[in-house]
Amino acid sequence: MNRSLLVPLLALSLGGCATISGTPATASSAATASQYEMMASPPPEPRKEDVPQVAVKEVWVPGYYQPVAGTWIWHQGEVRDLKEGYTLIPATTREENGKFVFSPPRWRRSDLAAQSASK
């Protein structure tokens, strides 16, 4: 399949609104379900989002850039149902040996999140 078609199709298949930011990687690792490719440059600054008012049993998941096929793809923030006993950890990007590593938003048991915060 033509790469110019592959990236937008892949972005749409990941769900939500996605926009492509042309920041290609020079090297990447094998992407798996739990590990994303390492990028040569950091993601763009997060976009400004209008955060909606959420119900008692809901939480706002902020938008984030995720690496897909050597490009940073924007994922619009969304409201999700709150998971009882869990804390939402937003998406993060950290630098590691001159490359940028992405971690998606995830749920962490509240008792573990409290232990990490106290250390």
Residues 12-47: pLDDT tens digits?
A: 444 444 444 444 333 333 333 457 889 999 999 999
* Half-sphere exposure at residue 115, Cβ-oriented, CA atoms within 13 angstroms: 6
Of the pLDDT bands very low, low, confident and very high (cuts 50, 70, 90), residue 86 is: very high
- Rounded alpha-carbon distances, angstroms, from residue 56 to 66, 79, 83, 87, 108: 28, 12, 11, 14, 19
DSSP bridge partners of 106: 89
For the whole model, what pTM was predicted? 0.65
- Which range of residues forms the domain containing residue 19? 3-118
Of the pLDDT bands very low, low, confident and very high (cuts 50, 70, 90), residue 65 is: very high
Six-digit token pair at 22? Answer: 């042309």
CA distance 99 to 101: 7
Residue 109 CB neighbours (<10 A): 12
Tally of domains within the chain:
1
Is the per-residue pLDDT at 111 higher than 70?
yes
Of the pLDDT bands very low, low, confident and very high (cuts 50, 70, 90), residue 100 is: very high
CA distance 12 to 108: 27
Six-digit token pair at 65? Answer: 């850039």
Contacts of 69 (CB under 8 A, 6+ apart): 3, 6, 7, 10
